[in-house]
Structure 1
Amino acid sequence: MEANKKEKIESFNKRKLSFNKNWTVQTLINAIVITIGSFIFAVGVNTFMIGGNLAEGGVIGISIILFYAFGWSTALTNLIINSIILAIGFKFLSRRAMYYTIFSIPMTSLMLWFTETWQMQFENVIVNMIFGGMFIGIGIGLIFRVGATTAGTTILARIANKYLDVNVSYALLFFDLLVVLSGLTVIPLERVLLTIIALYVATKVMDFIVEGMNPKKAVTIISNKPELLAEHVTKDIKRGVTIMHGRGYYTQENKDVLYIVINKNQLGRLKRVIKKNDESAFVVVHDVNDVLGNFII
């Protein structure tokens, strides 16, 4: 009895140790990524955006406006405003995202403080606009990629989605544009318009970082020759195929539905395979934001 009990305790401790070790290593990696992302973000804000007398969206945009108007530190105002928003809307984040966000907010503010004197104003302000957008996009993208957020308007957008039934993306765009347009109180219209372009650049770069260099596509195929198509996809494109059973509502006929996840650069080959073997196949291509699983795509 005692031996059996001792064996169970040892087994449990081994599993617990293994879990904690993996969790700690991954958490450390994520913390490093957030730190690097915060630094790059801060360089984008201080070196290029403020250096070019430009504004920005979100909470950091409010901080920049306050800096232009009153000379208040962007690091301090960013920390205070984001902390208040996080305290109000923390329940709109998952537990994992909340923990990482609690880390990312002071880290971002620390990096803003560290780089606040690194301002560079180029003769052509477009250089500030482009590189400011790029650096901010890379920084936020790295933070988002590990599951953290920068709080701010992200949480406000989720609150608007819950209580006003507004799309999160539209709500986020609305809050960011509202902040940018508020910049008209402290900077010329030309700089505000350039800031909007910088926001677009940042969004595109952020999407690239979050989705990766090789975005995926999911393809749904309804065909009268499912086995033939599955065979060619497996053999010619070297991709796995899932066959699901479906039924047409109008005809009441049973049909097999093929589901495939591929790299974007393989989509053309897949279309040629489908056209060659079944020209009447019904094909739907979906964008995929993320792929998880014990396989390589």
Structure 2
Amino acid sequence: MNTSKMITQLKTIIPIVLGAAIYAFGLLYFIIPNHLMEGGVTGITVLLNYGFHIPTAISNLCINIPLFILGWKVLGSRQMIYTGVGIGAVTLFLWLFESLIDNGLFEPFKTEHDYILASLYAGVTLGAGLGIVFRFGGTTGGSDIIARICNRKFGWSMGQVILVVDIIIIGASLLFISKEKILYTFVAVYIASKVIDFIQEGAYRAKAFTIISDHGPDIADVITKEMDRGVTLIPAIGAYSKMAKHIVYCVVSRQEIRRLNSIVKAIDPRSFVIISDVHDVLGEGFREEKEE
């Protein structure tokens, strides 16, 4: 393996390992000490810990090994290599944090009354960890492998498979934890999903302007000269008037919204403007994508 290829792989593996560490931390620092739950196969490791005091690192590894082998055979090595990294990293950090807790070197957050705080922070840490892992092409194994296999073999929706697994596991948790804790768990799961989306879509958000006007070229010229932004003119025909016109498409930062609005209204007060959110904007004037 040449040096550049190794560096490229390290740029993927290191963030996956970091995300796995954050995820394991959230599980042992917020979820388990407060007897909350987690979805997916990880939820099984939590249940085994609650019911039989089995260390999460051991149960996580034992459950994921057969799933990983099955996934390797069905899905192939290319799809599973970073999943293997994720499983190994989560198991390693679960073992590390459990060892620190058992030896009194690490004090988890445990509360007797403020479970909403525990739920919020659990959602943020779990979501941040999983978001980083997913963003760099890895997974933590478990229900994700099951969902991929069901999708490949039976054509089932991955989202639906994961949802069914989550419902079964969280439902089974009623044998070990109260309904109140289940509701707090839903808060954590919801927050985690939002954090995952935020990391997946990118922290940078911009606005896309779609401007329908009889003075499209004039608007485009002013935007180009005064704002130094790229503009695309799209030929169009009005359905009612049958008149040819141009649609102006332009992406700007949030700080430039007011300025662009002013330019458009000054040139054509009757223009029709659609403003929409865009995520992860790449290109000149925004975030540049570096070549590997």
TM-score, normalising length: structure 2: 0.79
Question: 2:203–2:280: 8 Å Cα contact kept in structure 1?
Answer: no
Question: 2:206–2:278: 8 Å Cα contact kept in structure 1?
Answer: yes
Partner SS for 1:259: strand
Find the aligned partners of 2:65 and 2:242 in 1 and give their Cα distance.
Answer: 56
> Cα distance, 1:52 vs. partner?
0.8
Which ranges in structure 2 are unaligned for 5 or more consecutive residues? 288-292
Partner SS for 2:116: helix
Find the aligned partners of 1:232 and 1:165 in 2 and give their Cα distance.
Answer: 50
Name the counterpart of 2:187.
197
In structure 2, the CA distance between the partners of 1:255 and 1:206, relative to structure 1 (3 Å rule), is same
Q: Does 1:51 align with 2:33?
A: yes
TM-score, normalising length: structure 1: 0.78
> Cα distance, 1:28 vs. partner?
1.4
Name the counterpart of 2:19.
37
Name the counterpart of 2:223.
233
Tell me the C-alpha RMSD between the 2 structures.
3.2
2:111 to 122, 141, 149: 122
> Cα distance, 1:190 vs. partner?
0.7
Aligned length: 277
In structure 2, the CA distance between the partners of 1:212 and 1:66, relative to structure 1 (3 Å rule), is same
Name the counterpart of 2:91.
109
Which ranges in structure 1 are unaligned for 5 or more consecutive residues? 1-16
Q: How does 1:39-188 map to 2 (within 5 A)?
A: 39-89=21-71, 95=78, 98-116=80-98, 117=101, 118=106, 119-123=108-112, 124-157=114-147, 163=154, 166=157, 169=159, 172-188=162-178
Q: How does 1:273-284 map to 2 (within 5 A)?
A: 273-284=263-274
Name the counterpart of 1:7.
none
Find the aligned partners of 1:49 and 1:150 in 2 and give their Cα distance.
Answer: 17
Mean Cα deviation higher: 28-37 or 286-295: 286-295
Find the aligned partners of 2:197 and 2:24 in 1 and give their Cα distance.
Answer: 19
Partner SS for 2:34: coil
